[in-house]
Amino acid sequence: MKNQSFTPKIICHILLYILLFFCICCTEKIKEDNRFVAYQVNPEKQNIRLYWKNNKGEILKSLDHLKNDVQAKQEKLVFAMNGGMFEPDNSPKGLYIENSKITEKKIRYQFKGKYFKKI
């Protein structure tokens, strides 16, 4: 009888199937749990945007400021959430792309454990 040990490829496939199973199960569970807000976007019908600064170049800093800025432009904000991590001065931590333009490029990070460490 041959030694039938699991290869890294087989283990990876098994883990991916388990992850997929839990993602499907958790999605349904989250929809039923009122502690979470789930919002599904159809990019063919809705506009997905990142916001950091207003038209004057001022950092928005909060969802309330974002809402006021969008309403001042006679636009409608349907859903908003924090989209990343920020430096103490409220600049994006890492790569930031808005309207197909790179506005911040701080991507010197090294992976250590669960988090990235700036080098």
How far is residue 19's CA from residue 43's CA, in Å, rounded to a whole number?
25
Per the prediction, the chain carries an average pLDDT of 75
Q: Does residue 54 lie within any of the structural domains?
A: no
Q: Does residue 33 lie within any of the structural domains?
A: yes
The predicted structure's pLDDT at residue 96? 78
The predicted structure's pLDDT at residue 64? 92
Q: Does residue 74 lie within any of the structural domains?
A: no
Q: Does residue 11 lie within any of the structural domains?
A: yes
Q: Note down the domain range covering 20.
A: 7-38
pTM for this entry: 0.55
Q: Does residue 29 lie within any of the structural domains?
A: yes
Q: Are 56 and 65 in contact (CB under 8 A)?
A: no
The predicted structure's pLDDT at residue 6? 62
Q: Does residue 84 lie within any of the structural domains?
A: no
How many domains is the chain built from? 1
The predicted structure's pLDDT at residue 4? 57
DSSP the chain: ----PPPHHHHHHHHHHHHHHHHHHHHHHHHH-TT-------TTTS-----SB-TTS-B--SHHHHHHHHHHTT---------S-B-TTS-BSSEEEETTEEEEE---EEEETTEEEE-
Quote the tokens at residue 68.
């006021």
The predicted structure's pLDDT at residue 117? 53
Q: Does residue 67 lie within any of the structural domains?
A: no
The predicted structure's pLDDT at residue 70? 92
Q: Does residue 15 lie within any of the structural domains?
A: yes
pLDDT > 70 in the chain, percent: 70
pLDDT tens across 21-69, in order? 666 666 566 667 777 777 778 888 888 888 888 889 898 888 899 999 9
